[in-house]
Amino acid sequence: MSKVKVYHNPRCGKSRNSLKLVQEQIPEDEVEIIKYLETPPSRAELKSILGKLGIKAEELIRENEQVWKESYKGKSFSEDELVEIMVENPILIERPIVVKGNKAVIGRPPENVLGIL
């Protein structure tokens, strides 16, 4: 059985609350916490996550981040270009993301994670 992966930012309240919900439902040894700002997902991992979420890359971008506003806002990008932008700037990835098997969910609100656990 594969572990439940939590793409987590410890500085984010929603991420902390989502992680807490996961930890209350799943044994600790079955949870993999990925601090994605320190260990960003690869291009392939991010594409896989998007597929599991069932969304386009643009829906996973945090458009209020300064790096987005300064470098990317108002410009047009392909799906692959958006994935590359997130790989290079992981702060732009919406958080938290919880992945279980072939399903994933964004923990906004944190209670969303309960749907796949």
Mean pLDDT (the chain, rounded): 96
| CA angle in degrees (0–180, nearest 5) for 12-71-92 | 25
Average pLDDT, integer, range 53-63: 97
Active site amino acids = 12
Average pLDDT, integer, range 83-92: 98
Average pLDDT, integer, range 45-67: 97
The pLDDT assigned to 28 comes to 93
- Residue 16 belongs to a domain with what CATH number? 3.40.30.10
pTM listed for this prediction: 0.94
Average pLDDT, integer, range 33-43: 96
Give 2's pLDDT tier (boundaries 50, 70, 90): confident
How many domains is the chain built from?
A: 1
- pLDDT of 38 > 90? The answer is yes
Q: Which domain holds residue 97?
A: 4-116
